[in-house]
Structures are given as C-alpha cells and as structure tokens.
C-alpha cells in the first residue's frame, strides 16, 4: 500500500487488540483449569512464527524471556486476575468469555492491517533473518527530505520532526535515509573487504536485509554542537535526547535500543529511527515495547502458522 493506513482503522486495531488480549487471557485461564477447553489461538500458535523467517531472537533462537517481558502479552501467571473480585477470592469463571470462531476471525481480520511481511507496509519487519521480499524491493513513492529520501508519508512526518527539533533549539540533520539494494551491495562489500563478513554483519546489513531499503528508516544526528556523527554520543546531546523523547509523536521508533542485541541483531544505535506510522508508534510506546521484533511476536496472530 503506497499510502498510509487510515488512522481510525488503526485505533480500532488497538481497541480490538486490547479486547483480544483480555479474551485470550480469560481463555487461557479456562485452559489451565480445564484441559478440555482449547482457546484459539494458543500461546504456542501465537508465538510460532518460524514460517515467517524469524525465530524471535538472534544468537540462540527464540528467547522466552524476551517474549514474556513486555506488557500486552498473554501471560499465564496473570491470566486469572479477571476471574477474581477485589476481595481476592476466586469467583466462578465466565465460561462465555471464550472467543467464538466468528469473533476470532473478526479480530484476525482487523489485525491483518498490521502487516509485517508486505514490503509496502509501514509495519514490515526487516532484520538479519527477514529480508525484504523481493530482496531487491524498491519503494515507488520516495520523496526528498533533508539530505536524503524517504517514502512520502515518512518524509512528511520527518520534516515535521525536523521543524519541531529546530523550533526547540535542538536542530537535527539527516545522515542517511533510503538506500537502494545496489547501494547497500556496494556498502556491504566495502565493509566485508575491510573487516571480513563475520565482523561486517555486526554493524552493516546484507543487501535486501537493511531497513534503509524500505524507505522508512533514517539516521539522524545533531546539526550543531557536539557529536555530529553516527556515534552513541548522539544520545548524550540535547538534540539526541530530544529525539529520543519525541520521535514517537511523529511515528518513528528507536529501532536498536540498548541491551537488545540478542533480539534485534544490532548494537545500540541512538541515531537510527524507523517510521512505522503514527498509530503503530503510539501502540508500540503504550505497550512499552523495546524492539520491533517483540512487537511482531505479540501481534502476528493475524497470520497463525498452519499446523
């Protein structure tokens, strides 16, 4: 889809998603107490994403701790809370809380608007295990912003962000935005020649595996003062600090946070931001997620794996 997803529909997703988490939690509570009840989907279905090419973590496969740490997940240890009243005593479990087939398919239909696979989706997930498909994908709606190009909606939102940063007295500038498949081929080959492929992969993406190829990722650095470079010192500057606090309001998320290398495959990059859309960014912040991989694991029930 070349244009943005309608905001109202995305708000509906959030509402339906929260409702679904509640329903799924109740369903899970029933399953724990009554093996004959089988809520759909089960947690194993929810988190089985192997056919999508992403196992949920890097350097050792799926990490259960990463799956359970974020709010908004189906958490068996808390799934029976809604079956208690304020006195803390168990109440009869509401059997009718199990989602009907109709309700489930309606939820899945709504969630399918968040699409992690379509390269034209603002929520496409690209990482070291999930290349773009096709691998030489190129967006068709690129527009100039700053010194680079991004897809039209992302470019418009980035311009607003840059204007706001300037108005705040903490101006930022673009270092790198869209990079084509062939540009990334050259960049990656240069690093491999210099450092070897094993080391190069730690900080550079193979062509087809870079978020910059989506036209939705941008590297931002301070336009004045200290640390006008792609370095972790960006986070310690007034501009970098403002960016970390405000990017979400413009639909961008910090893609590679501290201490998420096992999940994202990359070290901390306080300069690399990814446009996911205004509503998805708000949903991401509301859910207190710390990697887009975690967000994917929590939301991809729209495409349950065929068993």
CB of 124 to Zn ion, least distance (A): 16
- 269 catalytic residue (yes or no): yes
Residue placing its CB nearer to Zn ion in the complex, 79 or 176? 176
The CB density around residue 201, as the number of other CB atoms within 10 Å, is: 18
Q: How many chain residues interact with Zn ion (CB under 5 A)?
A: 2
Residue bearing tokens 């910059």: 212
Over the Cα atoms of the chain, what is R_g?
Answer: 21
Minimum distance, C-beta of residue 83 to Zn ion, in the bound complex (Å): 46
Residues 206-235 close enough to bind Zn ion by CB under 5 A: 219
* Closest distance to Zn ion from the beta carbon of 218 (Å): 7
Q: What is the largest CA-CA distance in the chain?
A: 66
Q: Name the nearest CA neighbour of 298 among 219, 307, 288.
A: 288
Stretches 113-121, 161-169, 189-197, 264-272: which one binds Zn ion (CB under 5 A)? 264-272
Q: Which residues pair with 254 in a beta bridge?
A: 273
Pick the closer one to Zn ion by CB: 5 or 204. 204
Q: By CB under 5 A, tell whether 255 contacts Zn ion.
A: no
Q: Which residue in 63, 98, 151, 272 binds Zn ion (CB under 5 A)?
A: 272
169: left (phi over 0), alpha (psi -120 to 50) or beta: left
127 is written with which tokens?
Answer: 């990482």
**Could you say which of 149, 153, 257, 269 is catalytic?**
269
Side by side, the strands of the sheet bearing 272-275 are 172-176, 217-222, 272-275, 252-254
Q: Contact region for Zn ion (CB under 5 A) — 187-195, 269-277, 284-292, 299-307?
A: 269-277
Contacts to Zn ion by CB under 5 A = 219, 272
Catalytic residues, which ones? 269
């Amino acid at each position: 889809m070349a244009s943005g997803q309608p905001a109202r529909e995305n708000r509906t997703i959030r509402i339906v998603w929260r409702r679904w988490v509640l329903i799924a939690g109740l369903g899970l509570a029933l399953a724990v107490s009554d093996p004959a009840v089988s809520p759909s989907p089960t947690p194993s279905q929810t988190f089985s994403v192997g056919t999508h090419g992403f196992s949920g973590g890097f350097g050792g496969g799926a990490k259960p701790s990463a799956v359970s740490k974020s709010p908004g997940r189906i958490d068996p240890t808390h799934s029976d809370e809604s079956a208690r009243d304020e006195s803390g005593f168990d109440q009869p479990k509401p059997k009718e809380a199990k989602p009907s087939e109709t309700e489930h398919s309606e939820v899945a239909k709504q969630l399918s608007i968040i699409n992690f696979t379509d390269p034209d989706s603002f929520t496409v997930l690209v990482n070291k295990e999930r290349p773009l498909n096709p691998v030489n994908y190129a967006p068709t709606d690129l527009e100039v912003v700053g010194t680079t190009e991004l897809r039209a909606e992302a470019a418009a939102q980035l311009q607003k962000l840059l204007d706001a940063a300037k108005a705040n007295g903490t101006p930022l500038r673009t270092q790198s935005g869209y990079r084509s498949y062939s540009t990334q081929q050259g960049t990656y080959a240069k690093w491999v020649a210099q450092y070897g492929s094993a080391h190069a992969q730690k900080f550079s993406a193979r062509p087809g595996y870079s978020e910059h190829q989506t036209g939705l990722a941008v590297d931002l650095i301070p336009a004045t003062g200290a640390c006008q470079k792609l370095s972790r010192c960006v986070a310690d500057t007034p501009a970098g600090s403002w960016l970390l606090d405000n990017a979400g309001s413009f639909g961008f998320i910090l893609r590679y946070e501290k201490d998420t290398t096992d999940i994202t495959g990359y070290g901390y990059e306080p300069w690399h931001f990814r446009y996911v859309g205004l509503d998805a960014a708000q949903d991401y912040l509301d859910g207190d997620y710390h990697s887009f991989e975690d967000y994917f694991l929590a939301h991809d029930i729209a495409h349950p794996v065929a068993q």
